[in-house]
Amino acid sequence: MKKILFVLFLLIVCGISSFAQKAPYNVVFDLTSADTVVHKMVLRWINEIKHADPNAKIEVVLYAKSLDLVTADKSTYTDSITKYAKMNNVAFKVCEVAMKNNQVNKSQLLPGVQTVPDGIYEIISKQHEGWGYIKAAK
């Protein structure tokens, strides 16, 4: 009888775990660097995440000196930014305070790049929603 109950218990546990949902793959990147090596690294990570889980949600929050990545006349990765920004589960969000501090206006941003009033608050909000946090730096 004990063996039957033990086997039944294992079947129930295995059955429940097979129906359990996988945790959502949501990650927010904190990008402040002007270094194009760091920019390339973030784009590589986006690519790797998208291959690991095409449904993953990715947000890159840019502030401080990182705006060149998404500024039309300065970006060395225009094609990649434009490609990813068209995806509905990848977003590039630029801090409006940083835009003001760096004399960048919305018309200078690459197509699909969004703005947020406060980049740090955006990151904190994503963390509060359970998103993973990655500081992109060398």
Structure tokens at 127: 């963390």
Residue 114, phi then psi, degrees to nearest 5:
-105, 170
How do residues 3-42 score in pLDDT, each as one tens digit? 564 444 555 555 554 445 678 999 999 999 999 999 999 9
Model pTM score: 0.84
CATH fold of 24-136: Hypothetical Protein Ychn; Chain: A, (3.40.1260)
pLDDT in tens, 66-91: 999 999 999 999 999 999 999 999 99
Backbone angles phi, psi at 4, to 5 degrees: -65, -45
